[in-house]
Amino acid sequence: MAQIAAPIRVEVAGEPGDRFEEILTPAALDFIARLDAAFEGRRRDLLTERRRRAQRLRSGEPLDFSLATRAVREDPHWRVAPPAPGLADRRVEITGPPERRMTVNALNSRARVWMADFEDATSPTWHNIVSGQLNLRDAIERRIDFTTADGKAYRLCDDPATIVVRPRGWHLTEEHLRIDGRPVSASLVDFGLYFFHCAQRQIDAGRGPYFYLPKLENHYEARLWNDVFVLAQDLMDIPRGTVRATVLIETITAAFEMEEILHELREHSAGLNAGRWDYLFSLIKNFSHRPDFVLPDRARVTMTAPFLRAYTELLVRTCHRRGAHAIGGMAAHVPSRDPRANEAAFAKVRLDKEREAEAGFDGSWVAHPGLVPLCREVFDGVLGDAPHQIARLRGDVHVTAADLLAVRGVAGPPTPEGVRADVAVALRYFDAWLRGSGAVALYGLMEDAATAEIARTQLWQWLRHGAADLATMTAILDAECAALERERPDALVTEARDILERTALGRELPAFFTTDAYTRHLVADRLAARAAVRP
């Protein structure tokens, strides 16, 4: 390992669990502490700049492509690294939390890639975070087979999907690991534990340590990740460039820096992904003060909207120009037992995937194993035996700043059904999140933190600009709380309602619901710890 002075040790504030000591080893914690010592200051500075830029946008500063980085965009010669082993063909990717059952099902789904999601699809209880790391290591070592109490067997297949891990975003912290009394970056915890335990194991298995990077807002945040990769590889005596990372373009500011983000990560880059739900959330959040950016019901804002089409076409053109994969957005439908409902849902998914494949994407996401065959069929029809279509450069695409912000043809007030749908989804998702589930099937869709963020920011925006009134919204909330109590006797209705009221119905719009709601997990963990030690 590289010789870097050891910082203050990491204090484990979370309760012990079954086999947690296999992950929270002294060497692994020391590795995290070294990353923290090198990068915590820069992380805090970048978050400060995020807040400043958000304030400038609220004050009317225009959003445009940067003149300072024009040379990077105009240089025709640079390229990202070639595809790493297991990442050349990505025509179908499945996403989900690294729960034990999901881990086996995702790896066996016949998708080419599984994104093990510690971020939007995981409720960050201490148990979920540490057990998720255990599940990944067990899967790589092929020790994950198990049988449930009712006799159902889960066995890993011979050709599982390539694992790509999505750590939590730069804005989040892990309160159960502390250095000098302060919490450690959740990004560094999720990345560090996986890298320390699994990087060499993945290399030995013919793959490598691969990551999806969420919530980046500019190329400086990508540069920070690149520097993390360099130090981590040096510390573990792994060649630089072994790490590969796909960046989710899921903030409106990052959409204006796609080239720059690829450039910062170029020796570690595996491309870009159209994280469309968080992207829509970011657009609403950053322009929530503007009445001309009021959007209608979420279901009416489709990927055919001009501003979303411009975003996806720019992403494909940018990636292919630089030799990188362009990965499409999530198909969130969950197959049901109703044949008619399935037929209608699958038809929508097919149209969506056909648009992506025809636009030049090299693959796309699904949330459920039942959608893997459909997505694969669509991309097989375009790709054939080729692993991707990076050679399709999309020189016909020319996207301006105005194109990325052209919501005028889509903007409009919500319907009463749209308001009720957002209240119902947000309330039920917050309840499930508090109870430890981050990916929740609701009304035929797999909802995660990103879609809950859309729901609550839309509610706030509609109230702010008079597209909905507080009395009506409160009455809907009362009705949905009563319905949730009937649906689930164990529902945390009061707590879920409080989160919704604090993050959607107040005077100010919080940047993320997760930073507020995370304190509820901490309280629950502490109460559980006290109960465990009572005589």
Annotated active-site positions, please? Answer: 166, 448
CA dihedral 87, 320, 401, 168 (to 10 degrees): 10
Residues β-bridged to residue 366: 94, 331
List CB contacts of 420: < 8 A, sequence separation 6 or more: 476, 480
Report the candidate in 311, 290, 263 with the shortest Cα–Cα distance to residue 408. Answer: 290
The C-alpha atoms of residue 497 and residue 426 are separated, in whole angstroms, by 9
Residue 405 · residue 307 · CB < 8 Å: yes
Q: What are phi and psi of 305, to 5 degrees?
A: -60, 140
Report the candidate in 188, 92, 186, 101 with the shortest Cα–Cα distance to residue 138. Answer: 101
The C-alpha atoms of residue 433 and residue 355 are separated, in whole angstroms, by 33
The C-alpha atoms of residue 210 and residue 227 are separated, in whole angstroms, by 15
Q: How far is CA 500 from CA 32, 127, 514, 530, in A?
A: 34, 25, 11, 28
Q: How far is CA 6 from CA 38, 188, 192, 409, 418, in A?
A: 11, 16, 15, 56, 54
3-state DSSP helix/strand/coil percent for the chain, to nearest 5? 50, 10, 40
CB atoms within 10 A of CB 147: 10
Q: How far is CA 521 from CA 428, 495, 516, 518, in A?
A: 16, 11, 10, 5
What is the H or E stretch that residue 478 is in? helix 470-487
DSSP state of 9: P
The C-alpha atoms of residue 110 and residue 253 are separated, in whole angstroms, by 34
